[in-house]
A and B are shown apart, each in its own frame.
Chain A
C-alpha cells in the first residue's frame, strides 16, 4: 500500500494533530494541496461581552476553567490550550487539526461470525429488536440486568453492520471493560480487523473496521462510525463528563444510531430513548433465576467503631460465617481511608484478606486470587462494582447510606451475586445507619424486574 493510501486509511474518520501524524510532511502536504484534508484550528475563540470564550475542536470542551492562556512563542500572541484532552497531545489556538474530506475508504463486506452460543428466548427477542433498530438507524437502549449475557446479544447487530461494509465502534467508559471484551470479539469475528484503543495503546491497524475504544479515545474520531454501541453506559466517568457524551455523538456519523447497553440506565437515558428511540428490557439472567434482593441491616456508628480498632458485631458475625462456610466474599466501603483502617482488623480474622482500590496496580491479580479461593475475601471500593464474576460470592456493603452508593451502584453491586450456575443466589447485605431513597429504589427496582414476565 502506498503511503498516501495509508494516510487515507488512517485519517478517514479521525481528527488528528498535524505534528503528531505518523506520516511524512510531503505526503500530508500533497493531500492538503489536492483538497483531501481539511485543516481547522485546535481551539476556536469567540468574543463575548465578558471576555473570550474558548472551545476545543477535538474534545469539544467548553468549560473555561479547563483552558489555560499563555504567551505562545510559535504564534507570538496570547494562545489558549485545552487541558481536558492534554494527554493526547496539546491542542492550542495555533495547532492544526486535520480531518479527511477526500473519498472515504472502503471496507470488506464479508465477515465470518464464529459464535454458536445459544441465546435464551428473551435474549433472542432483545437482540432481534436491537438488530431491527440498527437496520432502521434508530438509537436503541438495551436495558438488561447484570449477568444476562449482554455482550453476546451485540454480536448479531455488529455482524450486520460489518457485512454492510460499514464501520462499527464498541465503546465503554472503563479500560477494564475494553480489555475484557477484546478477546471475546476477536474470537467471534476471526477475519475482521479489530482494534482496541485505550490510554497507552498504540495505533496498530490503520484500517480496523471494528474498533473497541474507551469513551476518552473517541475524542480523536470525527464522523467515523455507522453505528456506535456504548457498553456500561451508566459507568463513571461517562455520565459525569459531558465532553465524553459529546465525543460519542461526534464520533458517529450524523445519522448513525448510537446504542446504549446497561443494567442500570439513568432516568435521562431512559427518557431520551423513550422519546426518540427504542428500548428492550431483559429482566432475567441467562440462567433464569431471579436477582438477589438486598436485605438491610442497621449498623450504627460503624465508622467510630472501626476507628477504635473494632469490627462492628454484626459485620464480624457475617464475615466469620462466610469464612466458616468457605464462601468468597466482597465487602464494599465508601472511602479508601476507612477501608485502610479496616484492613488490618479483618486480617486478624484471616491474614489473607486484603483490600483493593483504583490505585492498586495488582487489583486484577487479587480478584483472580479470590476466584481461585487463594484469598477468602476482599475489601473494596466501588471499583469492583461491575464487570467481575466470582462464583458463589457473598456481598456486603458497609455504609450503604453514603451518597456514593446510589441506586445504580447498589444494583450493580448486587449484580455480582449469583451470576453463575450452580450458585444462582447468595447473600446481599446492606449495612447502614439509616435507609436512604437510593436503597429503597434499588430494592424496588430489583423486585420489579424479578416480577416482570419473560418469554419462555
Chain B
C-alpha cells in the first residue's frame, strides 16, 4: 500500500486489531495527515441550528480539494472516511448531502459529497435537488448573498421530528448551507444541523 497523497509506501505495523478487522486500513501516511489542521469549530446561525467544521481550510486542504474535485481523483474520498464516521456516528440523525446539479455531476462524473459519504459507508438520503447550474466558487460574496432559491425538496418529508444533518465539503460564506436548510425547513423539518469537512479560518 502507498499513501494516497504522497505515494510513499505506508509503513503499517501489523497488529492484532488489524488482523481481526477491528482496525481499518489507513489510506494516507501520518506526515500527510498532519498537514490537515483539526479545528472542530461549531457555530450557530439563524437558520442552521449548528455548523460543525472539522478541519481548517489550509494549503493542504486546498490541494486536497483540487486533486479530489478538479483532477477527479475519487480515491481521495477514503482519506477522511474514518473522521467522518466518528463525527456522523449518530444513527438517529438523517444525513442529507448537498447535491450537485445533474449537468455538473455528469461533467465531474461523481458528486464529491456523495463520494465522501459512500467511502465512509454512512447511509444518507438525497432529499435535495439543485435548481441552478451555477457554482459558488465562481461568485463574489455579494453575488452569493443575493442568490434566490438554490435547492428544492422534490418529495414529502415524512419524519419532521428527526434531526437532519447536511453534509458539504467546505463552508465559506454559508450561503449554500443556509439555502439548503431553508428548503428543508419549509418542508416542515424542525432541526437542521450541518457538518462540513473544511472551513477557512483567519490567520493570526
Binding site for B on A (CB under 8 A): 65, 68, 70-74, 79, 81, 83, 86-87, 90, 92, 94
Determine whether the beta carbon of A73 is less than 8 Å from that of B111: yes
- CB-CB < 8 A to A65: which residues of B? 1-2
Could you say which of B2, B73, B105, B110 contacts A86, with CB atoms under 8 Å apart? Answer: B73
- With A71-B110, A72-B110 given, can you name 18 additional A-B contacts, CB distance below 8 Å? A65-B1, A68-B73, A68-B75, A70-B74, A70-B109, A72-B109, A73-B106, A73-B108, A73-B110, A74-B106, A79-B109, A81-B74, A83-B73, A86-B71, A86-B73, A87-B71, A90-B72, A90-B73
Determine whether the beta carbon of A92 is less than 8 Å from that of B109: yes
Question: Is B115 in the interface zone, CB < 8 Å from A?
Answer: yes
- CB-CB < 8 A to B74: which residues of A? 68, 70, 81
Bound state CA distance, A81 and B107, in angstroms? Answer: 15
Bound state CA distance, A317 and B109, in angstroms? Answer: 62
B1-40 interface (Cβ within 8 A of A) = 1-2
Give min CB distance, A79 to chain B, whole Å: 7
Question: A72, A73, A81, A94 — which one has the most chain B CB atoms within 10 A of its CB?
Answer: A73
Determine whether the beta carbon of A73 is less than 8 Å from that of B72: no
- CB-CB < 8 A to A92: which residues of B? 109
Give min CB distance, B196 to chain A, whole Å: 22
Determine whether the beta carbon of A81 is less than 8 Å from that of B72: yes
Identity of the chain B residue whose Cβ is nearest the Cβ of A87 in the assembled complex: B71
Determine whether the beta carbon of B106 is less than 8 Å from that of A70: no
Total contacting residues, chain B, CB less than 8 A? 15
A-facing mask of B92-115, CB < 8 A → 1, else 0? 000000000000011111110001
Determine whether the beta carbon of B109 is less than 8 Å from that of A83: no
The contact sample of 28 A-B pairs, CB cut-off 8 A, is A65-B2, A68-B73, A68-B74, A68-B75, A70-B74, A70-B110, A70-B115, A71-B110, A72-B109, A72-B110, A73-B105, A73-B109, A73-B110, A73-B111, A74-B106, A74-B107, A79-B109, A81-B72, A81-B74, A83-B73, A83-B75, A86-B71, A86-B73, A87-B71, A90-B71, A90-B72, A90-B73, A94-B109
- CB-CB < 8 A to B105: which residues of A? 73
Identity of the chain B residue whose Cβ is nearest the Cβ of A89 in the assembled complex: B71
- CB-CB < 8 A to A74: which residues of B? 106-107, 109
- CB-CB < 8 A to B110: which residues of A? 70-73
- CB-CB < 8 A to B109: which residues of A? 70, 72-74, 79, 92, 94
- CB-CB < 8 A to B115: which residues of A? 70
- CB-CB < 8 A to B108: which residues of A? 73
Bound state CA distance, A86 and B5, in angstroms? Answer: 12
Closest 7 CB pairs of A and B: A68-B75, A70-B74, A90-B72, A74-B109, A73-B105, A72-B109, A73-B106
Bound state CA distance, A73 and B99, in angstroms? Answer: 13
Bound state CA distance, A81 and B108, in angstroms? Answer: 13
- CB-CB < 8 A to A72: which residues of B? 109-110
Bound state CA distance, A73 and B73, in angstroms? Answer: 14
Question: A65, A70, A81 — which one has the most chain B CB atoms within 10 A of its CB?
Answer: A70
Give min CB distance, B117 to chain A, whole Å: 13
Identity of the chain A residue whose Cβ is nearest the Cβ of B114 in the assembled complex: A71
Question: B71, B74, B107 — which one has the most chain A CB atoms within 10 A of its CB?
Answer: B74
Identity of the chain B residue whose Cβ is nearest the Cβ of A95 in the assembled complex: B109
Identity of the chain B residue whose Cβ is nearest the Cβ of A76 in the assembled complex: B106
Bound state CA distance, A90 and B75, in angstroms? Answer: 12
Give min CB distance, A251 to chain B, whole Å: 23
Give min CB distance, B160 to chain A, whole Å: 31
Bound state CA distance, A90 and B71, in angstroms? Answer: 7
Bound state CA distance, A86 and B111, in angstroms? Answer: 18
- CB-CB < 8 A to B72: which residues of A? 81, 90
Bound state CA distance, A249 and B135, in angstroms? Answer: 43
Bound state CA distance, A385 and B123, in angstroms? Answer: 53
Bound state CA distance, A94 and B75, in angstroms? Answer: 17
Give min CB distance, A194 to chain B, whole Å: 30
Bound state CA distance, A73 and B105, in angstroms? Answer: 7
Bound state CA distance, A90 and B110, in angstroms? Answer: 13
Give min CB distance, B46 to chain A, whole Å: 34
Bound state CA distance, A83 and B73, in angstroms? Answer: 8
Give min CB distance, B173 to chain A, whole Å: 27
